[in-house]
A and B are shown apart, each in its own frame.
Chain A
Amino acid sequence: MRRFAADADFRAGFAEMVPACIGLVPFGLVCGVGAAAAGASPLAALGLSAIVFSGAAQILAVQLLAAGAPLAVIVMTCFVAGLRFVIYSAAMAPYLRPLSPRFQRGVAFLLTDQAFAASVRRLSAGGNPHAAGLHFLGGGFALWAWWQVTNMAGYFAGNVIPPSWSLDFAVPLCFIALVAPHLRTAPTIGAALVAGYAVIALSALPMKLNLIVAGTIGIVAGTLADFARERWTRR
């Protein structure tokens, strides 16, 4: 850990994640409140946030636990909600190939929506993969540590932020901050529009399957648009 903390790329990744951490405060509080409401002990609440480390899965888990759902249903629902990590894993894999297996396992543990969105642009820009990997680890570690703090704060102090402040809106704002700068080519804009439309159109699907299905449809749409543009410009 000390070796990492001395590394300039690790520190830069850590520092760049600070604004996103601020935006995540309301989300972490809600997860902590949910764990307390489901009757989790402090240690179990910490286990949930430290090991599962996914706000969406944690909220689903504690809601289903509080409702007395069977273990198999809880596990299946959380697994489906986490399927987007498979897609993130695939999208990051080409850039992580030069790194050691230990390094890859560390990156995988810290892979979240925020960490992926914040790092993918730097990874895809090329450059030294080891430096980009350390940058990812720095940001991922900042998110992980801060996630434990906010979850515990929510667990012990409750939801200290009044709902009328609408601070939950900071969570989508974090993602908007990361995705909007990507939208600079026609296929990318197409991918986003199709995915955004599909996620609403498919919202009746169970277990939040609309998320992963709409994301996949958007990726296919972007790829097709990419091929179409290539053919068109070649003529």
Chain B
Amino acid sequence: MDATLKLWAVVAIVGALNYASRLSFIAIFARRRVPALLERAFRYVPAAMLTALVVPMVAFAPEAADNADVPRILAAATAGAVAFVTRSTLRTIVAGMVALWLLQFALGRIG
């Protein structure tokens, strides 16, 4: 298949499927009641899904997928504490990046 055509096919099909995923339950529950059990389960979606998303990004540096990355894990813990207290995205990013740079410098990773 022609490379350009293939890329546009990916854009169209993946775009459509992703949109279907995004709309799925918004459309379904627009017409019927949400079961009580599900409504309770939905409370735990942010904590569970976002943690599952974040942990692999933190635990392993992009280029070294085998070894746990200690500075990243410690910097993430620092950022988590800052986020918990301040609830501020900007402060969390700044604290986490500064912590990571300091830890990498201390462990001699920047050279």
Contact = CB atoms under 8 A, between A and B. Distances in A.
Question: Are A and B part of the same complex?
Answer: yes
Interface of A: 19-20, 22-23, 38-41, 44, 47-48, 51-54, 57, 61, 65, 71, 74-75, 78-79, 82-94, 96-97, 101, 104-105, 107-109, 111, 113, 116-117, 120-121, 124, 163-164, 166-183, 187-189, 191-196, 198-200, 203, 210-212, 214-223, 226
Nearest to B25: A90
Interface residues of B, number: 73
Residue among B19, B51, B58 with the highest chain A CB neighbour number at 10 A: B51
Q: Mostly helix, strand, loop or mixed at chain A's interface?
A: helix
Nearest to B14: A78
A23 B3 CA distance: 32
B14 A57 contact: yes
Interface of B: 1, 3-4, 6-15, 17-19, 21-30, 34, 37-59, 61-63, 72, 75-76, 79-81, 83-84, 87-90, 92-93, 96-97, 100-101, 104, 110
A176 B92 contact: yes
B17 to A, nearest CB: 5
A162 B48 CA distance: 32
B28 A199 contact: no
A188 B84 CA distance: 13
B58 to A, nearest CB: 5
28 contacts: A48-B10, A48-B11, A54-B18, A71-B13, A89-B23, A104-B23, A117-B46, A124-B43, A166-B61, A169-B72, A169-B97, A176-B83, A178-B83, A179-B50, A179-B54, A180-B80, A180-B92, A181-B87, A182-B46, A188-B43, A191-B48, A193-B51, A195-B49, A199-B51, A211-B52, A218-B51, A222-B41, A223-B44
